[in-house]
Amino acid sequence: MSQQIALRTDDLAVTYTGNRNVEALKGVDVEFPENRLTAIIGPSGCGKSTLLKSLNRLHDIQSNVDVSGDVLLEGRSIYDTDEPAPEIRRRIGYVPQTPTPLPLSIYENVAYGVKIHGDYESKSDLDDLVESYLRKVNLWEEVRDRLETPAAELSTGQIQRLCLARSLAVEPDVLLCDEVTSALDPISAERVEETLESLKTEYTIVMVTHSMDQARRLADEVVFLYLGELVESNDTRSFFENPQRERTRSFVRGHTIAETDGDETNENDAEAESEPADEPVPAER
Protein backbone atom coordinates (compact mmCIF):
# COMPACT_ATOMS: atom_id res chain seq x y z
CA MET A 1 0.00 0.00 0.00
CA SER A 2 1.54 3.30 -1.00
CA GLN A 3 1.80 5.98 1.65
CA GLN A 4 0.11 9.35 1.06
CA ILE A 5 2.50 12.29 1.30
CA ALA A 6 1.13 15.16 3.43
CA LEU A 7 4.04 17.56 3.11
CA ARG A 8 7.15 17.68 0.96
CA THR A 9 9.99 20.02 0.15
CA ASP A 10 11.26 20.73 -3.34
CA ASP A 11 14.89 21.84 -3.65
CA LEU A 12 14.49 23.82 -0.42
CA ALA A 13 17.39 26.11 0.42
CA VAL A 14 17.67 28.58 3.30
CA THR A 15 20.43 31.14 3.77
CA TYR A 16 20.79 33.43 6.76
CA THR A 17 22.13 36.72 5.47
CA GLY A 18 23.79 38.84 8.09
CA ASN A 19 27.39 39.81 8.70
CA ARG A 20 28.20 36.58 6.89
CA ASN A 21 25.99 34.27 4.83
CA VAL A 22 25.17 30.90 6.37
CA GLU A 23 23.73 28.32 3.97
CA ALA A 24 21.70 26.42 6.55
CA LEU A 25 19.81 24.23 4.03
CA LYS A 26 21.11 23.30 0.60
CA GLY A 27 18.57 21.96 -1.89
CA VAL A 28 16.68 19.58 0.38
CA ASP A 29 14.05 17.24 -1.15
CA VAL A 30 12.20 15.33 1.53
CA GLU A 31 8.73 13.83 1.98
CA PHE A 32 6.64 13.59 5.15
CA PRO A 33 4.01 10.82 4.94
CA GLU A 34 0.49 11.41 6.18
CA ASN A 35 -0.43 10.32 9.70
CA ARG A 36 3.10 9.24 10.51
CA LEU A 37 5.64 10.70 12.88
CA THR A 38 8.87 11.72 11.17
CA ALA A 39 11.93 12.54 13.28
CA ILE A 40 14.51 14.98 11.93
CA ILE A 41 17.94 14.19 13.37
CA GLY A 42 21.53 15.28 12.80
CA PRO A 43 24.44 16.94 14.59
CA SER A 44 24.15 20.35 16.16
CA GLY A 45 23.92 23.12 13.57
CA CYS A 46 23.03 20.81 10.65
CA GLY A 47 19.78 22.68 9.92
CA LYS A 48 17.09 20.71 11.78
CA SER A 49 15.29 23.73 13.26
CA THR A 50 15.78 25.68 10.04
CA LEU A 51 14.04 22.90 8.10
CA LEU A 52 11.20 22.69 10.64
CA LYS A 53 10.60 26.44 10.55
CA SER A 54 10.61 26.43 6.74
CA LEU A 55 7.74 23.97 6.78
CA ASN A 56 5.20 26.57 7.91
CA ARG A 57 6.92 29.78 6.81
CA LEU A 58 8.07 30.77 10.29
CA HIS A 59 11.10 32.41 8.68
CA ASP A 60 8.75 35.07 7.25
CA ILE A 61 8.72 36.74 10.65
CA GLN A 62 12.54 37.01 10.70
CA SER A 63 14.51 39.47 8.61
CA ASN A 64 17.71 38.33 6.88
CA VAL A 65 16.51 34.89 5.82
CA ASP A 66 16.43 33.89 2.12
CA VAL A 67 14.28 30.89 1.27
CA SER A 68 14.25 29.31 -2.19
CA GLY A 69 12.68 26.14 -3.56
CA ASP A 70 9.31 25.17 -2.19
CA VAL A 71 7.25 23.38 0.44
CA LEU A 72 4.05 21.66 -0.71
CA LEU A 73 1.15 20.78 1.58
CA GLU A 74 -1.03 18.16 -0.08
CA GLY A 75 0.61 19.05 -3.39
CA ARG A 76 0.09 22.83 -3.16
CA SER A 77 2.82 25.38 -2.55
CA ILE A 78 2.73 27.18 0.79
CA TYR A 79 5.13 29.84 -0.53
CA ASP A 80 3.71 30.56 -4.00
CA THR A 81 0.14 31.14 -2.86
CA ASP A 82 -2.36 33.86 -1.97
CA GLU A 83 -3.30 31.99 1.19
CA PRO A 84 -2.48 34.20 4.21
CA ALA A 85 0.48 33.01 6.30
CA PRO A 86 -1.64 32.75 9.51
CA GLU A 87 -3.96 30.29 7.76
CA ILE A 88 -0.93 28.27 6.57
CA ARG A 89 0.35 28.24 10.15
CA ARG A 90 -3.07 27.10 11.38
CA ARG A 91 -2.90 24.12 9.01
CA ILE A 92 0.73 23.43 9.86
CA GLY A 93 1.04 24.03 13.61
CA TYR A 94 4.34 24.62 15.41
CA VAL A 95 5.04 23.52 18.99
CA PRO A 96 8.23 25.09 20.39
CA GLN A 97 10.81 23.57 22.72
CA THR A 98 9.81 25.84 25.60
CA PRO A 99 6.06 25.84 26.06
CA THR A 100 4.46 29.19 26.80
CA PRO A 101 0.87 29.19 28.02
CA LEU A 102 -1.35 32.19 27.38
CA PRO A 103 -1.92 34.24 30.58
CA LEU A 104 -5.35 32.67 30.86
CA SER A 105 -7.02 29.75 32.60
CA ILE A 106 -6.39 26.15 31.58
CA TYR A 107 -9.85 26.11 29.95
CA GLU A 108 -9.30 29.37 28.05
CA ASN A 109 -5.92 28.25 26.72
CA VAL A 110 -7.62 25.47 24.79
CA ALA A 111 -10.83 27.40 24.08
CA TYR A 112 -8.66 30.10 22.47
CA GLY A 113 -7.59 27.62 19.80
CA VAL A 114 -11.16 26.41 19.25
CA LYS A 115 -12.35 30.02 18.88
CA ILE A 116 -9.69 30.68 16.21
CA HIS A 117 -10.97 27.71 14.25
CA GLY A 118 -14.53 28.87 14.95
CA ASP A 119 -16.11 25.44 14.70
CA TYR A 120 -18.64 25.52 17.59
CA GLU A 121 -22.13 26.86 18.12
CA SER A 122 -22.78 26.96 21.85
CA LYS A 123 -20.97 27.11 25.18
CA SER A 124 -21.73 23.45 25.63
CA ASP A 125 -20.08 22.66 22.24
CA LEU A 126 -17.06 24.65 23.38
CA ASP A 127 -16.93 22.75 26.69
CA ASP A 128 -17.07 19.44 24.82
CA LEU A 129 -14.30 20.47 22.43
CA VAL A 130 -12.05 21.71 25.24
CA GLU A 131 -12.54 18.39 27.02
CA SER A 132 -11.85 16.37 23.87
CA TYR A 133 -8.56 18.18 23.15
CA LEU A 134 -7.45 17.86 26.77
CA ARG A 135 -8.24 14.14 26.56
CA LYS A 136 -6.24 13.83 23.32
CA VAL A 137 -3.14 15.04 25.13
CA ASN A 138 -3.82 12.88 28.21
CA LEU A 139 -4.33 15.94 30.43
CA TRP A 140 -8.07 15.85 31.16
CA GLU A 141 -7.94 13.67 34.27
CA GLU A 142 -5.19 15.85 35.75
CA VAL A 143 -7.01 19.17 35.28
CA ARG A 144 -10.75 18.46 35.09
CA ASP A 145 -11.33 19.80 38.61
CA ARG A 146 -9.35 23.01 38.13
CA LEU A 147 -10.12 24.21 34.62
CA GLU A 148 -10.49 27.81 35.76
CA THR A 149 -7.08 28.05 37.46
CA PRO A 150 -4.30 29.91 35.61
CA ALA A 151 -2.41 27.68 33.19
CA ALA A 152 0.87 29.03 34.58
CA GLU A 153 0.20 27.00 37.76
CA LEU A 154 0.68 23.73 35.90
CA SER A 155 4.00 21.88 35.82
CA THR A 156 6.23 22.40 32.77
CA GLY A 157 5.30 18.98 31.43
CA GLN A 158 1.59 19.69 31.86
CA ILE A 159 2.06 23.08 30.18
CA GLN A 160 3.74 21.33 27.23
CA ARG A 161 0.71 19.03 26.88
CA LEU A 162 -1.64 22.01 27.27
CA CYS A 163 0.20 23.81 24.45
CA LEU A 164 -0.16 20.68 22.33
CA ALA A 165 -3.92 20.73 23.08
CA ARG A 166 -4.09 24.38 22.06
CA SER A 167 -2.27 23.57 18.80
CA LEU A 168 -4.67 20.69 18.10
CA ALA A 169 -7.69 22.88 18.82
CA VAL A 170 -7.20 24.87 15.60
CA GLU A 171 -7.49 21.56 13.68
CA PRO A 172 -4.10 21.45 11.94
CA ASP A 173 -3.21 18.94 9.22
CA VAL A 174 0.42 18.81 10.31
CA LEU A 175 2.11 19.36 13.68
CA LEU A 176 5.74 20.51 13.83
CA CYS A 177 7.40 19.70 17.18
CA ASP A 178 10.75 21.33 17.97
CA GLU A 179 12.50 19.24 20.66
CA VAL A 180 9.30 19.29 22.70
CA THR A 181 10.62 17.02 25.45
CA SER A 182 14.11 18.43 25.88
CA ALA A 183 13.14 20.97 28.57
CA LEU A 184 11.26 18.35 30.61
CA ASP A 185 12.14 15.99 33.44
CA PRO A 186 12.15 12.29 32.42
CA ILE A 187 8.66 11.52 33.74
CA SER A 188 7.08 14.55 32.08
CA ALA A 189 8.99 13.74 28.88
CA GLU A 190 7.55 10.23 28.99
CA ARG A 191 4.01 11.59 29.28
CA VAL A 192 4.57 13.89 26.29
CA GLU A 193 6.00 10.94 24.32
CA GLU A 194 2.92 8.87 25.19
CA THR A 195 0.79 11.74 23.93
CA LEU A 196 2.70 11.98 20.64
CA GLU A 197 2.46 8.20 20.28
CA SER A 198 -1.32 8.37 20.56
CA LEU A 199 -1.60 11.38 18.21
CA LYS A 200 0.57 10.09 15.40
CA THR A 201 -2.08 7.89 13.78
CA GLU A 202 -4.38 10.89 13.47
CA TYR A 203 -1.94 13.68 12.59
CA THR A 204 1.13 14.10 10.44
CA ILE A 205 3.84 14.94 12.96
CA VAL A 206 7.34 16.21 12.15
CA MET A 207 9.61 16.27 15.19
CA VAL A 208 13.16 17.55 15.70
CA THR A 209 15.03 15.52 18.30
CA HIS A 210 18.58 15.15 19.59
CA SER A 211 17.83 11.75 21.07
CA MET A 212 18.39 8.65 18.94
CA ASP A 213 16.51 6.63 21.56
CA GLN A 214 13.53 8.91 21.22
CA ALA A 215 13.66 8.67 17.41
CA ARG A 216 13.78 4.86 17.63
CA ARG A 217 10.91 4.73 20.15
CA LEU A 218 8.55 7.21 18.56
CA ALA A 219 9.30 7.79 14.90
CA ASP A 220 7.86 5.92 11.94
CA GLU A 221 10.29 7.68 9.59
CA VAL A 222 13.68 9.31 10.12
CA VAL A 223 15.27 12.17 8.15
CA PHE A 224 19.01 12.65 8.69
CA LEU A 225 20.56 16.03 7.88
CA TYR A 226 24.23 16.84 7.80
CA LEU A 227 25.73 20.28 7.14
CA GLY A 228 22.45 21.47 5.61
CA GLU A 229 22.05 18.52 3.25
CA LEU A 230 19.74 15.53 3.35
CA VAL A 231 21.89 12.44 3.83
CA GLU A 232 19.25 9.76 4.18
CA SER A 233 15.55 9.34 4.93
CA ASN A 234 13.89 6.01 5.53
CA ASP A 235 11.46 4.14 7.75
CA THR A 236 12.82 3.94 11.29
CA ARG A 237 13.68 0.27 11.32
CA SER A 238 15.57 0.39 8.00
CA PHE A 239 17.24 3.62 9.00
CA PHE A 240 18.73 2.19 12.20
CA GLU A 241 19.19 -1.44 11.18
CA ASN A 242 20.29 -1.01 7.60
CA PRO A 243 21.57 2.51 6.96
CA GLN A 244 22.38 3.12 3.32
CA ARG A 245 25.11 5.70 3.79
CA GLU A 246 28.42 5.55 5.65
CA ARG A 247 27.69 8.96 7.16
CA THR A 248 24.48 7.61 8.70
CA ARG A 249 26.22 4.54 10.13
CA SER A 250 28.86 6.69 11.71
CA PHE A 251 26.34 9.10 13.22
CA VAL A 252 24.06 6.37 14.59
CA ARG A 253 27.01 4.46 16.03
CA GLY A 254 28.37 7.59 17.76
CA HIS A 255 25.01 8.40 19.28
CA THR A 256 24.33 4.85 20.38
CA ILE A 257 27.61 4.85 22.30
CA ALA A 258 26.92 8.31 23.79
CA GLU A 259 23.38 7.42 24.89
CA THR A 260 24.45 4.09 26.35
CA ASP A 261 26.88 6.10 28.44
CA GLY A 262 23.97 8.27 29.60
CA ASP A 263 25.03 11.32 27.59
CA GLU A 264 22.59 12.38 24.91
CA THR A 265 24.90 14.96 23.38
CA ASN A 266 26.62 13.58 20.33
CA GLU A 267 30.22 12.85 21.06
CA ASN A 268 30.72 12.62 17.30
CA ASP A 269 29.48 16.13 16.59
CA ALA A 270 32.82 17.89 16.58
CA GLU A 271 34.48 15.11 14.63
CA ALA A 272 31.55 14.79 12.24
CA GLU A 273 31.33 18.51 11.57
CA SER A 274 34.98 18.72 10.68
CA GLU A 275 34.69 15.98 8.04
CA PRO A 276 33.58 16.72 4.47
CA ALA A 277 30.13 15.15 3.91
CA ASP A 278 31.23 12.57 1.37
CA GLU A 279 34.51 11.51 2.96
CA PRO A 280 34.46 7.81 3.85
CA VAL A 281 34.28 7.02 7.57
CA PRO A 282 36.08 4.13 9.21
CA ALA A 283 34.38 0.74 8.99
CA GLU A 284 32.29 -0.38 11.97
CA ARG A 285 34.29 -2.02 14.70
Ligand X SMILES: Nc1ncnc2c1ncn2[C@@H]1O[C@H](COP(=O)(O)OP(=O)(O)OP(=O)(O)O)[C@@H](O)[C@H]1O
Please give the residue ranges that form the binding site for ligand X (CB under 6 A).
16, 18, 22, 24, 42, 44-50
The nearer residue to ligand X, 114 or 208, going by C-beta atoms, is 208
- The least distance separating ligand X from the CB of residue 51, rounded to whole angstroms, comes to 7
If the CB atoms of residues 35 and 49 are measured against ligand X, the closer one turns out to be: 49
User: Cβ distance 254 to 272 under 8 Å?
Assistant: yes
CB of 128 to ligand X, least distance (A): 38
For residues 42 and 172, which CB has a smaller minimum distance to ligand X in the complex? 42
Question: Between residues 18 and 103, which has the closer beta carbon with respect to ligand X?
Answer: 18
Question: Minimum CB separation from ligand X for residue 225, in Å?
Answer: 7
User: Least distance from C-beta 59 to ligand X, angstroms?
Assistant: 9
Which lies closer to ligand X via its Cβ, residue 107 or residue 226? 226
Quote the least distance from Cβ 227 to ligand X, whole Å.
9
- For ligand X, the closer of residues 5 and 22 by Cβ is 22
Kindly state the smallest distance separating residue 107's Cβ from ligand X, in Å.
34
**Within its chain, how far is the Cα of 29 from the centroid?**
17
